[in-house]
Chain A
């Protein structure tokens, strides 16, 4: 195994998709060769031949009859009154905002007949710039979640709001005498100005009461770091557009940190390679496990989180930055070299560089980074500081500890937990909230779900979704947005936090009035202009001049003296080695609040391509050192038992805290440490979220919220099945003219190159992807598609095409969820995913290159290629997939009989088959979610990416009505619209000025499997990396690149 691994990773240009491929395991070979790998369920012994024929005969006979049914006539429900500017069947967009990564995010909700079906980014909002991330896309599903709490509960029994009101008035009246000394309010991070005002009002009435805020994923370290460096809590905002060199240490600023969508856009704008434009920023990332940011890195360094301080201090010393720190430990030669090169690059780009440190790093590390940025002259250029955007900035770890203390001292008589606060699940485990909450005589939980905390409380109150009421939120830079309702409340009994607080203040009012009154008092605009400013603010989704002003900052002392906590691996004692655990927000379910969101659960996680689970990720070396073994997925299916699985179970224990978790190796992980994603292992999340994955909060304590050292790992005999999608829908490149090639001789699927190579040869002609293959095959037929045929504008033709730029693709998967939301794509569940039956039309293929210890990563979004000579069309016996005149490879669901020949013949494996009635929804509320422009597919039907044909049709009908051609940019596919980095461009090839035409003319444009001559309409630009010449020389994979 070891040998094979070395063989493949030694051969410079070899790409591999999984560790199985790297090792060329027989299971992987079998997957490549299978006609329908794992998709077709093998017929068990339960059906005899005779019975099979009987069933087939019966279904054939009945199939004929199904065509005879006349469609039932339905009712037409007319409106009593005509709303102004509303047309039946025409959607409207309303600006509102959601919370993502803890802060406000401006969105536009598309509403059909009073029901929102899709969210798009708000181009005017500073965080969004028109794009979204996957979590934002999926929040529309939360609105329609059938598991949402609908009733007021007292000890789990349905009660009325009136009963609650009477009860709480009673309790508050008792507290009034002592100034509310026994009242505690717990909320998440409050970024709503109106809500904060309401809570403050409450605290004025009860001056002895206390308000605590707690988020498990918080900015404590960031704010404390700023205080160490500048003397006050400050919020750093990066201006990545100005940065040529970006060094990110243990930071996922492109994905999980506040402002990530904006940062991704700015980062991508600094590295778009077009003809003549070869200016490219360089990203250095040092982190324990690949993140979305790390996968985009030009220079990636796997390093334990606890060693980041040491690495940063090394860079500071090399730069001569004014820092005095106490850090210990030695860097390895690789780390030393990396620090040297990064420092050299930083010096060479003074004022155009940036040092970013992640939320998990201790404050001292942040302070050191600030000192370095100040030393390099980056302050005010690539990084600016504002006051924290929270209404009341706090240290969350401190707050939850105080609350726990109050509870333990029996000082709390009334505990009100608002807005989905769930300390019973996500508070540090050493505080033992599960035992503390039941001690409170009057406890109230208010949230969208009857969750772990609700189960411990006296009262549970159902919360409204933000799309059902008015509200306001601030973005990461302080910009305020008004949340306007997109739908009439689905359930009559739900209330927002704002409504509840107003009621506790004795002044219940409509949310609209509360929010508007607040902004009137906050002097949003002079009284005479308020109405105009307010209306425009609500319409645009952004209130003017609400962003926090940039502050001028200076280091409070030079040199800056900081003390960094020292985490070193404990020495091996009595033969027991201990490991370090790094906690991280889950890429899809975040801190657990989205655990019941099936879209986010089924979305293959950007880095690991695993869905429905979190695992303990570690390096291959550590995995093998622990004596753990992977097992091929294929074997797991042959013995048809779900008890056995890929991943071995281990127990992690430290200081009496312990958890069981399935372990799995991931390339590019640092040795001797384990990455655990939070948010799983929930017990009362709802039907979808309960019982998936493993609860990492069981190891997270209040003094080690991010990095826990000294963790003992004990392998267990059990195994755990994992839904890994990295080996699904494999493109086989090992065939040439029907002859299976030696595995070291296959042509890479993708074209990649280094910036230096690109500058010398923009076509990258010498790359193995290009070498020795004929692209154009001679033909005697006339050209079917003539791209230069842009006749007079009155008689235009469209030829739709897409170009994807993997150079800027970060693999964040926003496009995948956007596609799911737009096209009514069902979820299938973990078991079906393990059979390779996930329905997502757009997948992101992840390729590694180089050694498993630190490979380079390539992200390739793969939608349907819409081949001009599509192989799928030739084999369909009923002509259910055919071409139209605009070049779309159309899929006619009502004709499809489900032979799956097309899928078999598709070289790109982009077709998806409805093995069951996946779109069936037992809860009627989910029907409201369906996009009325797209057919809901039934069982036995093949489906695939349509290039969002419904959006093309909409634009075409509008253009036809106005008797003009469709303009460039008028048709935006769902994936393109969601993409934070604008890596996807769609348009008309017959329009010489269209962006897509320009991109296709780029020298580094390539087709996947172009040699098959299927002539795909979806093409790609080569993935260009910009590594530092000195470092890439060290790495083996680049040495053989030339």
Chain B
């Protein structure tokens, strides 16, 4: 007896091909989804107890990053400021603002404020802020555009690929140490500007061979700061 009819051939082909397509589609689609901002939450500010604005404090008031994140140059963690730091100003201004009620409450009653993390790294990654800001990698390189953020959100998805892009080619992002906390820094475009900057920060250079662009400046700085480029992509640099 004939169990399979002729049209079953077509059906079988359709199933096999669509099955294969589904596997490929799942892989491609899944990977696209996990990298999309919808999944990674890039650009989406999480809820916070206090709607703190980096734009207001940094851009409009000109407060340095280190006023609040003062451990950034000495510790692995940049540190979330204590309520006491907020109160240095807010005991004088906006003293009755209802938005600041949680901060006052925290300070007066010795209760910690619970913020929500914006950026997060897996626990097997050991990132050190001090190692970066002391070697000419700016806050902006990872937290780019923070000076424009009213509510703080992720500006990058910290995938390993993204970290390695810079660890393999730090020249593309490095800048003079003194400019690390300057969110408006631009690589000097003209020779004069470049020379003036290098002189300003006592960075030795060959007068006949003044760097013309970020890459050339980067090479100069990598050498000047004794950065062992080949070592930066060692596993043991970030994983312990």
Chain A 137-156 per-residue mask, 1 if CB under 8 angstroms from chain B, else 0: 00000000000000000000
Chain B residues closer than 8 Å to A892, beta-carbon distance: 235, 239
Q: Which of A881-906 contact B (CB under 8 A)?
A: 882, 884-886, 888, 890, 892-894
Chain B residues closer than 8 Å to A924, beta-carbon distance: none
In the complex, how many angstroms separate the beta carbon of B152 from the nearest chain A beta carbon?
12
Interface pair A893/B239, CB less than 8 Å apart: yes
Interface pair B116/A890, CB less than 8 Å apart: no
B81: contacting residue among A78, A89, A960, CB under 8 A: A78
Interface pair A890/B75, CB less than 8 Å apart: no
Interface pair B40/A70, CB less than 8 Å apart: yes
Chain B residues closer than 8 Å to A74, beta-carbon distance: 117, 120
Contacts A70-B34, A885-B230; A79 near B236 (Cβ below 8 A):
no
B123 CB within 8 Å of chain A:
yes
Which of A258-266, A436-444, A484-492, A945-953 is the interface stretch?
A: A945-953
Chain B 217-240 per-residue mask, 1 if CB under 8 angstroms from chain A, else 0: 000000001101011001111011
Q: Which of B117-160 contact A (CB under 8 A)?
A: 117, 120-124, 126, 128, 130-131, 134-135
Contacts A79-B82, A935-B123; A89 near B76 (Cβ below 8 A):
yes
Chain B residues closer than 8 Å to A87, beta-carbon distance: 71, 74-75, 79
B3 CB within 8 Å of chain A:
no
A71 CB within 8 Å of chain B:
yes
Chain B residues closer than 8 Å to A795, beta-carbon distance: 226
- Complex alpha-carbon distance, A949 and B238, angstroms: 10
Chain A residues closer than 8 Å to B225, beta-carbon distance: 963
B80 CB within 8 Å of chain A:
yes
In the complex, how many angstroms separate the beta carbon of B100 from the nearest chain A beta carbon?
14
Q: Name the interface size band of chain B.
A: 35 or more
In the complex, how many angstroms separate the beta carbon of B39 from the nearest chain A beta carbon?
6
Contacts A73-B46, A81-B110; A957 near B130 (Cβ below 8 A):
yes
Q: Which of B50-85 contact A (CB under 8 A)?
A: 71, 73-77, 79-85
In the complex, how many angstroms separate the beta carbon of B118 from the nearest chain A beta carbon?
8
B19 CB within 8 Å of chain A:
no
B205 CB within 8 Å of chain A:
no
Query: Which chain B residue shows the least CB distance to A936?
Result: B123
Interface pair A946/B231, CB less than 8 Å apart: no
Total count of chain A residues near the partner, CB < 8 A: 43
Interface pair B85/A82, CB less than 8 Å apart: yes
Interface pair B117/A75, CB less than 8 Å apart: yes
Interface pair B230/A950, CB less than 8 Å apart: no
Chain B residues closer than 8 Å to A1, beta-carbon distance: none
B25 CB within 8 Å of chain A:
no
Contacts A89-B71, A90-B71, A884-B237; A76 near B122 (Cβ below 8 A):
no
A738 CB within 8 Å of chain B:
no
A80 CB within 8 Å of chain B:
yes
- Complex alpha-carbon distance, A89 and B131, angstroms: 13
- Complex alpha-carbon distance, A82 and B85, angstroms: 8
A47 CB within 8 Å of chain B:
no
Interface pair B116/A957, CB less than 8 Å apart: no
Interface pair B107/A80, CB less than 8 Å apart: yes
Interface centre among B76, B120, B240 (most CB of A within 10 A): B240
A961 CB within 8 Å of chain B:
yes
Interface centre among A78, A88, A885, A953 (most CB of B within 10 A): A78
Interface pair A886/B231, CB less than 8 Å apart: yes
In the complex, how many angstroms separate the beta carbon of B4 from the nearest chain A beta carbon?
27
A166 CB within 8 Å of chain B:
no
Interface pair B112/A885, CB less than 8 Å apart: no
A75: contacting residue among B77, B111, B114, CB under 8 A: B114
Interface pair B234/A89, CB less than 8 Å apart: no
- Complex alpha-carbon distance, A168 and B106, angstroms: 42
Interface pair A76/B114, CB less than 8 Å apart: yes
Chain B residues closer than 8 Å to A894, beta-carbon distance: 122, 124, 239
- Complex alpha-carbon distance, A53 and B237, angstroms: 39
Interface pair A81/B84, CB less than 8 Å apart: yes
Query: Which chain A residue shows the least CB distance to B129?
Result: A89
- Complex alpha-carbon distance, A79 and B228, angstroms: 37
In the complex, how many angstroms separate the beta carbon of B219 from the nearest chain A beta carbon?
15
In the complex, how many angstroms separate the beta carbon of B101 from the nearest chain A beta carbon?
14
Chain A residues closer than 8 Å to B109, beta-carbon distance: 80
- Complex alpha-carbon distance, A935 and B120, angstroms: 16
Interface pair B71/A884, CB less than 8 Å apart: no
Interface pair B231/A885, CB less than 8 Å apart: yes
Interface pair A78/B115, CB less than 8 Å apart: yes
Chain A residues closer than 8 Å to B82, beta-carbon distance: 78-82
Chain A 957-975 per-residue mask, 1 if CB under 8 angstroms from chain B, else 0: 1001101000000000000
Interface pair B34/A68, CB less than 8 Å apart: yes
- Complex alpha-carbon distance, A1027 and B61, angstroms: 79
Chain B residues closer than 8 Å to A81, beta-carbon distance: 82-84, 107, 110
- Complex alpha-carbon distance, A88 and B135, angstroms: 20
- Complex alpha-carbon distance, A892 and B234, angstroms: 10
Contacts A884-B234, A885-B231, A892-B235; A75 near B116 (Cβ below 8 A):
yes
- Complex alpha-carbon distance, A882 and B237, angstroms: 12
B198 CB within 8 Å of chain A:
no
In the complex, how many angstroms separate the beta carbon of B60 from the nearest chain A beta carbon?
23
- Complex alpha-carbon distance, A919 and B174, angstroms: 40
A933 CB within 8 Å of chain B:
yes
Interface pair B226/A794, CB less than 8 Å apart: yes
In the complex, how many angstroms separate the beta carbon of A652 from the nearest chain B beta carbon?
49
In the complex, how many angstroms separate the beta carbon of A56 from the nearest chain B beta carbon?
19
Interface pair A957/B128, CB less than 8 Å apart: yes
- Complex alpha-carbon distance, A272 and B79, angstroms: 47
Interface pair A882/B235, CB less than 8 Å apart: yes
Chain A 846-874 per-residue mask, 1 if CB under 8 angstroms from chain B, else 0: 00000000000000000000000000000
Interface pair A797/B111, CB less than 8 Å apart: no
In the complex, how many angstroms separate the beta carbon of A616 from the nearest chain B beta carbon?
44
- Complex alpha-carbon distance, A889 and B231, angstroms: 14
B134: contacting residue among A68, A88, A933, A960, CB under 8 A: A960
Query: Which chain A residue shows the least CB distance to B125?
Result: A894
B215 CB within 8 Å of chain A:
no
B113 CB within 8 Å of chain A:
yes
- Complex alpha-carbon distance, A946 and B235, angstroms: 12
In the complex, how many angstroms separate the beta carbon of B89 from the nearest chain A beta carbon?
15
A934 CB within 8 Å of chain B:
yes
Chain A residues closer than 8 Å to B74, beta-carbon distance: 87, 90, 961
In the complex, how many angstroms separate the beta carbon of A242 from the nearest chain B beta carbon?
44
Query: Which chain B residue shows the least CB distance to A73?
Result: B117
Contacts A70-B39, A78-B83; A885 near B114 (Cβ below 8 A):
no
Chain A residues closer than 8 Å to B114, beta-carbon distance: 75-78
A78: contacting residue among B80, B131, B236, CB under 8 A: B80
Chain A residues closer than 8 Å to B240, beta-carbon distance: 933-935, 946, 949-950, 953
- Complex alpha-carbon distance, A998 and B167, angstroms: 35
Query: Which chain B residue shows the least CB distance to A81?
Result: B84
In the complex, how many angstroms separate the beta carbon of B94 from the nearest chain A beta carbon?
19
Contacts A71-B122, A961-B130; A888 near B77 (Cβ below 8 A):
no
Query: Which chain A residue shows the least CB distance to B231?
Result: A885
Closest A-B pairs by Cβ, 5 of them: A884-B234, A89-B77, A79-B82, A890-B236, A78-B80
Could you list some 21 contacts between A and B, CB below 8 A? A68-B30, A78-B80, A78-B81, A78-B82, A78-B112, A80-B110, A88-B77, A88-B80, A89-B76, A89-B77, A90-B71, A885-B231, A886-B234, A886-B236, A890-B235, A892-B239, A893-B124, A933-B240, A935-B239, A953-B126, A961-B130
Known: A87-B79, A89-B71, A794-B226. 16 other contacts (CB 8 A): A70-B34, A73-B120, A74-B117, A76-B114, A78-B83, A82-B81, A88-B71, A89-B75, A797-B228, A884-B231, A886-B231, A886-B236, A892-B235, A953-B237, A953-B240, A957-B130
A positions within 8 Å CB-CB of B = 68, 70-82, 87-90, 794-795, 797, 882, 884-886, 888, 890, 892-894, 933-936, 946, 949-950, 952-953, 957, 960-961, 963
B positions within 8 Å CB-CB of A = 30, 34, 39-41, 46, 71, 73-77, 79-85, 106-107, 109-117, 120-124, 126, 128, 130-131, 134-135, 225-226, 228, 230-231, 234-237, 239-240
